[in-house]
Chain A
Amino acid sequence: MNALTLVLLTPLLGALILGLIRPPPLAGWFNLGVSALSLAAALWLAWSVALVSDLPGDLGGPGAINGPIAGSLAGDIFGLPFRVDAFNVYLVVLTAFVALTTSVFSRPYMRYVLAIGRIGPRRLRTYHSMYQLFMFTMLVALTTDNLGVMWVAVEGATLATVLLVSLYRTPEAVEAAWKYFILCGVGIALALFGTVLTYFAAQQVISDPAAGLNWSTLYTEAGRLEPAVMRLAFVFLLVGYGTKVGLVPMHQWLPDAHSEGPTPMSAVLSGLLLNVALYAVVRLKMLVDGSLAHTDNPHLAGYLLMGFGLTSFLVAGLFLHRQRDIKRMFSYSSIEHMGLMTFGFGLGGPLATFGALLHMLVHSLTKSAIFVTVGHATHIAGTQAIEQIRGLIRTQPTVGWSLLIGVAAIAGFPPFGVFMSEFLLLTATMKTAPWFTLVLLSGLAVAFAGLFRHLHPMVYGTPPEGQQPVAANMIPVAVHLTLVLWLGLAIPAFLANWLDRATGLITGTRLL
């Protein structure tokens, strides 16, 4: 558990110290250092989980039913139960990794923002402190075993980011932040109602009141939880956490918050926060599936996820076409991909779940790379309006090419990783629900067209007079896109095994 303590403590202490550090250049470097330390701790944690879950007698061969409680590390920190297994440690590592690369990008980016006077040093301090606090809340939400603490952490993530969205204090930014705050606040309040109902259901079967909110306890007792209560609870939980996932029609906050906040924030919101919310939904779906297993409609939770997922996927794909702000456009693309993942998790089955997990990874990597590139592009053009961003490839080839490659990757071109995961999801759909394949394919085509019709002039058009390149740090983009490319060409064995183990935890059946 030492690794976990380190994972959680690093960003928390980092946030506290960053709240005190005055000189901006130092804070940027310190932020980077804290993120690097977090990643190291996360890798250590992953390593210890890998050691535990490889114990003999645990996860058996392909097709074996695994207890999800086995193969996980449990422990208490300050009396709070934490539990780390293959599923959440995967997201912990991803979170820490994207946090690190984004902090690499954010250092020069925020210095530039400071230099042009959009923010003062005090707000920069808030920014850095909140950045780490946000990481802390996400990591707590991922690793905690207690559903109540998870709720508190997800709400905490909203609170930590809401000031960042309004960082620039323009009327638009304030409006976006207010929308974000109110909508997510309401959504998350509904999720708390769902949590209360879950706890109520648990109390009828679990004698220890303190353990009634522990996911692991609930999961072992899931079959005895009252189905009617759990059904209602799940609807509230799905609507609540779904608001944070950005599912249509609760997505209204997402494009605004992404477009008006600082770009590094957009990268982590899109790449990480949405994942965490989806993680919560999947965990809760596992509970509900257990509870509803013997009722008339055992896949209710799955159907709900499929419905919400598909709606988000299609609606966001259509909205891509009418965007005029580059960051808004990519946030709709995030909604689209989150919809696809939600659909995949709803479909259930090892193949779809594996695909969705992989998609989480490649989407996070690609989308944060894109937002980083977009950040540079907006600095080059001095605006976020798509119409005025022109000829990137001539002004600054690295940014232009990165945007082109990133969009190609996110649109699902082979040989990138997104293609792999989308292919897996399509195959799974073809197997279980063939009719939806057509819908998915047309949705992908619509989204593809939407992205490229805006992309082409931005990359190839004639640059306006006097457009100058900016100092850009393209290392994070290069790393991310290389990883995505690598994942598209060949998934390394350890990662496949890891994802497979997570799939085993979620569906009870392993794929490989």
Chain B
Amino acid sequence: MFLFRLMNFLVGYVTITIRGEAPEKFINMAAARGIFLWDIARPGEQTMRANVRLSAVRPLRHIARRTRCGFHITRRAGLPFLWMRLARRKALAFGAVLFVLGLYFLSSFVWTIEVTGNSRVPRKEILSVASAAGLNRGVPKWRLDCPAVERALKANLPAISWAGVYVKGTKVTIEVVEKTIPEKKNQSPAHIVAIKAGVIKEVLVFSGHAAAKEGDTVVPGQILISGIIPPSEEQKPEQPGSETHSEQPAPRQPTYVHAAGIVRARVWYEGYGEALLAETGKRFTGHRVTRVCMKIKGREIILAGPQKIPFLHYQTETSVKKPPPWRNLHLPVELVISKYYEVENYRLVRNRAEARRLAGERALHAVQKQLPQGARIVHKQLDELIVKEPESLVRVKAFVESLEEIGTEQPFTPGEESQNQVPAPPSQP
């Protein structure tokens, strides 16, 4: 049935309205002559409507004359009629062809270049190398040689281990994989010094000489692991043995290393928080409306949103979108999007325990902000500060003891440091 309809569309068909005494006769005769009629309906007493193929219209005239009926065409459908209409509008046909050709022509150029996979090598550098190899914006795709660009990228950028160039539509994707270059280890002499005051819990020396031990109280800046290793006692007999030619044993030279290690210490923090017993303020209710206006030369036209803001108190957030200026031309049109958030006044009454809990949370939160990344809280204590005269405020102080790493690297130059820093660590501030 579908094939049949498709055929009807291709060869074209018309809807005819038959008018006469006995349209049935007309239909019978048409059917007997092998003319195919379909969708026959009878809208009125004297009329009948039917669909017939375009090629059968001419024989129907003969039948109409013989059955004393008249018919006229009320609707034309199908490809031949469409084609006729198109032939009448030559400019439209020309435009359609031009459009397809234009689309094809313009899609055979590279319009965007995307670079993925680069984090250290700048995009500009990759693009300039690619440009030298013949890949830049606007280059025709048939002249683009992807393997050559890949080779050029690999040859000219030493930081890249692999490059791929793919064309997809009008977009070219340059995918690069960067070489992972091992980091250069800093080997210059350095100490590990404390950044915070605390009591040492454990010292783990990877390299260097431990200057603090477990249980020591340290102050900020104090050396915990020294980068100066004093000559050990066992070297003593070795050294004169090796330098037999000099009678005087040379002053033993300490070795300088880049100290490394983990120093964990107990550090104390203090935080303060307070909570009102009765709190008043403003807060958002969560209701909001958005209004979109178009502003033309100072006049505002509401495009969407309510005329009147349905809130008593509200806060406004406005964003303005302007068309980009061209040369010194500014269009006096802008789009204003305003968001209105409803606020309400509230009053909250807490009892003492609740307020204390809240103040405690705030105090702990204040401490939490000071804590570094890997700190572990060992102990915490909340103390309420009692003031003489009663007030509508609960003040809580939090004391937190945490276990954390306090060491940090501090480079030094061997000559001067050895004299003033090593012997007197506590003298440092």
Is B a genuine binding partner of A?
A: no
